[in-house]
Amino acid sequence: MERNLHPQESLKIIEEMIQNAKINLKENSFYFIFWGWVIIIAEVAQLLISRLTDYAHPYYVWFIIFPAMLIAGWYGYSKGRKMPAMSHIVRINIMTWFSFLVSYLILVIFSGNHHYTVPVIFILAGNATFLTGIIIKFKPLAFGGIVLWIGAICMFYLSGIALDIVSVLALIFGYLIPGYMLKYQK
């Protein structure tokens, strides 16, 4: 027989679900830290190669993204297998980032104007980061998403080293700082 819940009991259950999701997603601070560093390293490597060498294709460093995707996928798969059950909130967050991945791949594969690829990727990452912050009620991540959006707006008007600097700063304040805050949150 079904039991009717009082509003206070319902709220308590919802709060517990959010808290459990926060704990699960706290462990996933790995992704913000990992991707923040991978992208910063690629960005700085491309900048150094293009400024200090005559190499014609400094953007090849971005192929590091593909092994990084495999590492992140393996990490997620191994963590997912250890979870006793996946809450609805965790599932929503996974689908948020899956939609980012699909959008990213479509953009990278089919983009004809590569000048706008970077800011559009930052817009997509800002969306997913902002939504993750809202989903788990962690304001630094929501703020990180806003930082990525602001960085993307700036990038539409920049090129060269200025774009690289804004990109690195947006990643530090949009991914790394919120990622470390999530990791070390009590």
Q: What is the pTM of this model?
A: 0.81
* 91 part of a folded domain: yes
**Count of structural domains, the chain:** 1
- Long-range interactions of 154-163: CB distance < 8 A, separation 24+: 155/118, 155/119, 155/122, 156/116, 156/119, 159/115, 161/47, 161/51, 163/118
d(CA 120, CA 148): 10
Structural domain range at position 112: 10-183
Over residues 12-26, the pLDDT tens digits come to: 777 777 666 556 666
pLDDT for res 18: 65
* Domain-embedded: residue 32: yes
Whether 162 is in a domain gets the answer yes
Residue 36: band (very low, low, confident or very high) from pLDDT cuts 50, 70, 90? very high
Residue 3 lies in a domain: no
Per DSSP, the residues of 101-163 read HHHHHHHHHH-S-GGGHHHHHHHHHHHHHHHHHHHTT-HHHHHHHHHHHHHHHHHTT--HHHH
Domain-embedded: residue 154: yes
Q: Is residue 115 part of a domain?
A: yes
Q: Is residue 173 in a domain?
A: yes
pLDDT digits (tens, 9 = 90+) for 71-97: 999 998 888 777 777 777 778 888 899
